[in-house]
Amino acid sequence: MDWYMKVIRNYTGFAGRARRKEFWMFSLFNLIFAIVAMILDRMLGLTIHPMPYGAIYIIYGLAVLVPALAVAVRRLHDVGKSGWFLLIALIPLVGAIWLLVLDITDGNRGPNEYGPDPKEVVPVV
């Protein structure tokens, strides 16, 4: 949950790098909360007819749209790619697979053009 809150607090931070753990923990909790929102929509009768979701899910989705984009861009920065690589997902099938591969790839060791390595332990003096 701390990883999820870290991303939410840094919701406009497109600069820098995000570890795999930060990205995937945010993705996991985001999925859980989205499912809970859908269930609440169903229980409260707020669903939009042909779809399994409604107002609560839509509001939640809009609320986490910018933080999700920001953490995805920072994740791409960690592997040395520009945030514009998110657009690769627009290529049917191949784009989504390539983006998934980039998201599960370990980040570059040491600093890169997007910032210091988030895994490096800074010695406390």
Provide the residue ranges of all domains of the chain, joining segments of one domain with +.
2-104
Q: What residues have CB less than 8 Å from 71, skipping those under 6 apart?
A: 7, 18, 22, 23, 26
- At 7 the three-state DSSP class reads helix
pLDDT digits (tens, 9 = 90+) for 79-118: 999 999 999 999 999 999 999 999 999 988 888 898 888 8
Taking the model in full, what pTM does it have?
A: 0.87
Phi first, then psi, for residue 37 (nearest 5°) are -60, -40
What's the CA dihedral at 103, 101, 112, 125 to 10 degrees? 50
Q: What pLDDT, on a 0 to 100 scale, did the predictor assign at position 86? A: 94
